[in-house]
Structure 1
Amino acid sequence: MIEDFYCEEVLSGRTAVEKVIETENVLAYHHTRPFWPVHIVAIPKKHISSLLTLEPADNDLLIELMDVVKKVASQVTAEHGACRVVTNLGKYQDSKHLHFHIAHGEPLHNNE
């Protein structure tokens, strides 16, 4: 398994994605393997392993990332009436790159 799908595949351009919002430092795009009917991922373009490894020097980037998450969540909520915003840590975090899922709907498949 790839340790950091976002750096190795998405940000490198090896895997094409459908962009939702892109800023200088943040990318939000439709998940390549959605778990929910609406499933958007927001990532910093700089490698940061997880929410727990953020440094004080990353504060401006975190604010920019949260602004993008908020905009995407607002769009999804306006269109569908609700959404969830999730980040995973530890063994729940498959790709070791800080990312937030903005999603709506019931799971498309069972992860068991």
Structure 2
Amino acid sequence: MDNCIFCKIISGEIPAKKVYEDDLVIAIEDISPVAPVHLLVIPRQHIVNSLDMRQEHEGLIGRVFTVAARLAREKGVAEEGFRIVNNNNAGAGQSVFHIHFHLLGGRSLQWPPG
């Protein structure tokens, strides 16, 4: 956790463009956006990925999705459509091993992704 970039952003050690924060999560603008709206919703608690989730994290994940929906509305992508993405392990594209959720919107998102 000492080397975790998201833990350093959460603690204020590394600056980021925060768009939301509360006692459980923060949301920041992605530094390499792949859509006009590309935010990261990050739990403050260091959890590596969804494989490390436990029953006590259920409320936390509910908060992630509530915040993502709020931000989608605020950023004007709720009606047109948006995607929430969570990658687990390197083969799926996870590059920072602190669970986080990408909120993507503002352009047509194709299926299947990747």
Provide the TM-score with structure 1 as the length reference: 0.78
Q: Can you list the C-alpha shifts for 1:69-97, whole angstroms capped at 9, x where unaligned? A: 2212233324x822221110121110011
Aligned to 2:62: 63
C-alpha distance in structure 2 between counterparts of 1:93 and 1:3, whole Å: 16
Determine which structure has greater relative contact order: mean sequence separation of CA pairs < 8 Å that are 6+ residues apart, divided by chain length: 1
User: Which runs of 5 or more structure 2 residues have no equivalent in the other structure?
Assistant: 110-114
Whole-angstrom distance in 1 between the partners of 2:63 and 2:82: 20
**What displacement does 1:52 show?**
1.9
Give the 3-state SS of the residue equivalent to 2:65 in structure 1.
helix
Q: Which one has the bigger helix percentage? A: 1
Identity of aligned residues (%): 28
8 Å CA contact 1:73–1:85 kept in 2: the answer is no
Distance 2:98 2:20 in 1: 18
C-alpha distance in 1 between matches for 2:4 and 2:32: 15
Q: How many residue pairs end up in the alignment?
A: 104
**Is residue 37–residue 106 contact of structure 1 (8 Å, CA) maintained in 2?**
no
Which residue identity lines up with residue 71 of structure 1 in the other structure? R
Instruction: Give the root-mean-square deviation of aligned CA atoms.
Output: 2.3
